[in-house]
Structure formats: C-alpha cells, structure tokens
Amino acid sequence: MNQGQCKAQVVFGSDSTVFLLGHTTQVEELSDTVIQFILDQVSVEGQVILPFPELVQLLPELLQLHKFDYSGVTLHPLTSSSGPRVALEGPANKVTDVRNRLGPLLDSLVQRRVTIDLPGAGRYFESPSGRDSILSVAQSKKCLMRLEEQPHASRQNSGFGKYSLQDGLQVLVCEGDITKQYTDVLVNAANEDLDHHGGVAAALSKAGGPEVQKESKALVKRTGKIKTGDVVVTTGGNLKCKKLLHAVGPIGGKCDTQRIRKTCKKILKQCENKGYHSVAFPAVNTGLLPEHWDPMQEEVFKKVELQPNSPEYQDVAQGFFKTAKYNISKIERVQNLYLWHSYSVCRQRILTKNGEAELGEKFLYHGTSAESCNCIERDRFDRSFAGAHAAMYGKGVYFAVDANYSASRYSPADPSGLKRLYVARVLTGRYTVGTSSMKATPPRGSDPTDCFDSLVNNQQQPSMFVIFHDDQAYPEYLITFS
C-alpha cells in the first residue's frame, strides 16, 4: 500500500488491529481505501421483490436468456406471505450493482396465458419437434414459456358415456369403426366435390363400394359443387345403413364452430323429416387432420403423389401456371402430422390475436434445392438458411406471391435438370415493410409484446413475405418441374 503517491505505513497488531502511520492527509486517504476494500469483501444479502411467483424458480433461466451478468452473486429464491422474492448474496458492491440493474428488467416484464384448445396439441408439445418450437419462440422473443396442463375440472368430458335426453332420445359417445355401425343414417365429413379420397370419407366410400362414389359424382355433376355447411344424401351401398349423409365442413384447419353446429342441426332435421330413428356422426372437423389428406394409419409423415386428372392437382397446377411457364413433372402432397399440429396451434394464436380479418392465411411459393426438401418436409422451413440467397427485407424465411419468382431465382436444377418449389400455406397476419438488418418483426406500438406477424417488400402491394416463426408456414405441396 506504499506504492504510488500514498506515503503511509501499515502496521498489523496482534489482535487483528491495523495501524496506519504517516501524514494526516495520506492516512485519511488510505483509511478510506481500506474501509471500502473491507466493505466490498464482506458478504451481504439484499432482497428483490419478483413480479410473478413463477420467477422464484425461473429467474436464473430468464437472466441467462437476457445475457444478464450476475457473476459473484448467489441467488436464493424465497417464498413468503409477503410475496415472491429473491435474495442476493455476495460482496456488497456486486450485490448493489446487480440489484440496481435487475430492477428495470423486472419492471419491464409482462405475463400472459394462452389457451391452446386443439386435439393432439399436448402430445405435439411433448415431442422433440414441439419442444424445439417452444425453444425457438422463447429465444427469438427473449421470453420464458412454460406448458401448463389444464386442470381436470375445467376440461370437457372426453370419455365414453350414454346420455338420456327428452322424449326418450339417447346420445352415445364411443370409439369405434364408423363403417361397421348399424344405424339408419351414417354421416360423412365430405369435401365440396364429394371426392371421397381421404380420411373418414375414403373409409366410408371403400366400405360402401363403388356405388357410393359413383352416385356422389353424378350428384355434383348435376347440381355443382356442394357449399360449405350444406348436407346432401346418397346411397349407403354396402354400409350397414339406409342412407349416407354428406356434410361439407370448413377445410384447411379452420374451426368454424357456429357453422359446424348449424350443419349438425341440418343433419338431425333431415333425419327427423325422413323418419329415421338413429344416426352416427364421426368427429366432424376436429382439426386433427385435414379432410383432403389420405389416411395416415400409424404414420406421422407421408407424401402422396397427386393424379393429374384430380381436382386437387388441377387447382395447384393452375396457380403455378399463372406466372410460371415450365413443365410439371409431378405434384406431391406433404402430410406431416407434427408440422400440421404446430401450424394449427400457430394459426389459433394469430387468429385469437388478430381476428379472422387479419389472419392473412395465404398460399405462397418457396423455391428450394433437392437437398433441402427432406429437411423442410420432415422438420420445417429453417430460418438458419436465411441469407443463403437474399435477405433484403429481414433475416427470416421468404415466400413469393408469384410462382415464377421462386421458380426462376431460387429453385436450382438437380443433375437431371429437375427443379423443386413448395406451395406453402403461410400465416402472414399483420405485416410491415422489412429491412435487411431485421432479425425479428418489430412491435406494432408501445407494447413490446405486440409485434407484427411478418415483413413485406411493399406495404400496399406485397409480392414477398418474410416470417420468423417456423410454425407460421406449412409445406402443403411440392411441385417438381423442368
């Protein structure tokens, strides 16, 4: 301590006493230095009030997420009647510093609960893909996300049972094979073309025999496509029923509860008018799988090549040919159970936040290489590839309105000359013009948690959309062309 300008001598006594010898000014300066040194080394404890009880256990994880340095200070979670707190233990100077910096961070925190009421959502979030989705959102938004199972008392009864209503009516809820039900009427969850190629429709059509599909096609040819919410009747063929009622429900993961309820009433009214005494419903529009998918059995992933003469193929090809002048080799439908659940959950979140008018669900195009297809179809569109071609409007995943833009610029040919492009279902939501430096969508206003859902190249007439949440897009179809 005799170095520099401080001319004083330190003498240590036998009883831990320290004597400072020298001129008055130097001794006073050294005394202040020694006292401050001692205070800084003494372990002290300070307490900080936490805004939410969950932070008692999750505070270290939150601080790590925000790269908050609290080295040298130990955190001790406390629970008491006065509310959640955390004790800071360490040298006085470090405890004071951490407490001063921690206060503003805690004051800026908000907490929200989002209810996800979709079939299979719990199972999805427990899967590796679901956990990755949660981690991705948490890291991009610097927030903590925790799953809480809904209490049993607040759940709807999903078990089997028999319920007696007025006038002797009975409702039986059960699990089984609807194609083997003995009943006056069976209900089919159909599409507008009555093309029974997937899901329950395919099972009923197969069990009923060719007469079911033949009569359905004749009906559509005679009356035109069946409107959503309408109910039509055909023969049951070989099914153990008198008639088969085809109910056209919402497609593409939409959950229009009011329309489904009205459709069910139409079915019951028809049964009453025709004098039928029993009717069996499948689980109509539960959102588990799209109606136009082929049966998945126990599979979680499946690719289905579309037939060129099918309405589905023609619709996809027509959209492609509007701007792209290429020869299509094949069109495949991508059926990924986990990715669809993930997309459905994201759709419900944006729908709840924005409302139907600003959901912005669009079919857009994404060019890619043959090597990337497996990753996209089995895992999702990956933001880590952003910038591989261009990132003028943000470092996210890009989708084009025109097929030709993606086909000509971002669909490299393989050695055989074939190119690949996805028709993706994208939730664009509320959007704003992006810049090359953006790694996430900016807040819409003063609330930092209320952000835009996507970025665009032009606010009035966007031809390019950029998303930052992988679950906002689903690879619906893969077009292989040359």
pLDDT per residue as tens digits for the range 111-137: 887 777 665 666 677 777 778 878 888
118 and 345 in contact (C-beta within 8 Å)?
A: yes
* CA pair distance 142, 130, nearest whole angstrom: 18
Tell me if 230 is assigned to some domain: yes
* CA pair distance 320, 396, nearest whole angstrom: 24
Domain around 45: 8-107
pLDDT of residue 337: 84
Question: Which among 92, 107, 122 is the end of a domain?
Answer: 107
CB atoms within 10 A of CB 281: 19
pLDDT per residue as tens digits for the range 390-407: 678 988 999 999 999 999
Whether residue 186 is found in the same domain as residue 224: yes
N-terminal to C-terminal alpha carbon distance within the chain: 81
- Structure-block tokens of residue 388: 């591989």
Average pLDDT, stretch 441-462?
92
The amino acid at 209: G
Tell me if 333 is assigned to some domain: yes
Whether residue 333 is found in the same domain as residue 381: yes
* CA pair distance 297, 305, nearest whole angstrom: 17
CATH at 460: 3.90.228.10
pLDDT for residue 13 is more than 80? no
pLDDT per residue as tens digits for the range 217-260: 999 999 999 988 899 999 999 998 999 999 887 654 444 567 77
Residues in the chain: 482
pLDDT for residue 458 is more than 80? yes
Whether residue 270 is found in the same domain as residue 365: no
pLDDT per residue as tens digits for the range 173-188: 777 788 888 899 999 9
Whether residue 429 is found in the same domain as residue 335: yes
453 and 428 in contact (C-beta within 8 Å)?
A: yes
Residue 38 vs residue 347, higher pLDDT: 347
Residue among 106, 1, 6 nearest 47 (CA): 106
Whether residue 331 is found in the same domain as residue 444: yes
Whether residue 266 is found in the same domain as residue 307: no
Whether residue 263 is found in the same domain as residue 331: no
Whether residue 244 is found in the same domain as residue 207: yes
Please tell me the total count of domains within the chain: 3
Whether residue 245 is found in the same domain as residue 331: no
Tell me if 306 is assigned to some domain: yes
Average pLDDT, stretch 283-292?
65
* CA pair distance 411, 399, nearest whole angstrom: 13
Picking from 72-76, 322-326, 476-480, which range would have the lowest pLDDT averaged per residue? Answer: 72-76
Within 8 A by CB and 6+ apart from 413, the residues are: 419, 482
Tell me if 454 is assigned to some domain: yes
* CA pair distance 445, 449, nearest whole angstrom: 9
pLDDT of residue 400: 95
* CA pair distance 277, 409, nearest whole angstrom: 61
